[in-house]
Structure 1
Amino acid sequence: MLVLSRKKGETIIIQDHIEITVLGVEGDTVKIGISAPKHVDIFRQEVYLSIKEANKESAAPSTGNLNALMDRLRSQK
């Protein structure tokens, strides 16, 4: 992990296309602005993990459907 110190108004550039700017600091809360191309998805970590888990659940076959399919395949033999 790269660790950088930035002050209010200072920016970090990632691969010529993404800019992260420190907009403000209040206590232990840092407000940042992110400029990136529209095709780049940007999520807070907790939102990203929730989306990832929902996708994983929707892609996994349910046990009931899998058992029904296996029974059907067995009966075709």
Structure 2
Amino acid sequence: MLVLSRKLKESICIGEDIEITILAVEGDQVKIGISAPKSIEVHRKEVFDLIQQENENAAKPVSIDLLHAFLQQSRKDDF
């Protein structure tokens, strides 16, 4: 992990397209601004972790019993 010190209004550049700027320091809270292309998703870590978990859950195979029950219910709903 790279650790950098920055003062208010100072920035850090990541590659050519991403700039992180220190906007405010209030007590133990630091507000940052992130400039990045729209094609790059920017999330808080806890949100990113939730997205990753949901993606993993969606990629898991469905059990045959659950699929069978779903198909039976769908047939009932059609009539």
Fold-level similarity (TM above 0.5): yes
Structure 1 runs (4+) greater than 2 angstroms displaced: 62-68
Q: Percent identity?
A: 53
Could you say which residue in structure 1 is the equivalent of 2:44? 44
Could you say which residue in structure 1 is the equivalent of 2:15? 15
Deviation of 1:30 (Å): 0.4
* Secondary structure of 1:23 counterpart: strand
Q: 1:60 to 1:5 in 2, by over 3 A?
A: same
Gaps of 5+ in 1: 69-77
Gaps of 5+ in 2: 69-79
Provide, for residues 15-60 of structure 1, a one-character-per-residue CA deviation record: whole Å limited to 9, x for no partner: 1110000000011110000000111110000000000001111110
* Secondary structure of 2:16 counterpart: coil
Instruction: Work out the number of aligned pairs and report it.
Output: 68
Q: 1:67 to 1:38 in 2, by over 3 A?
A: closer
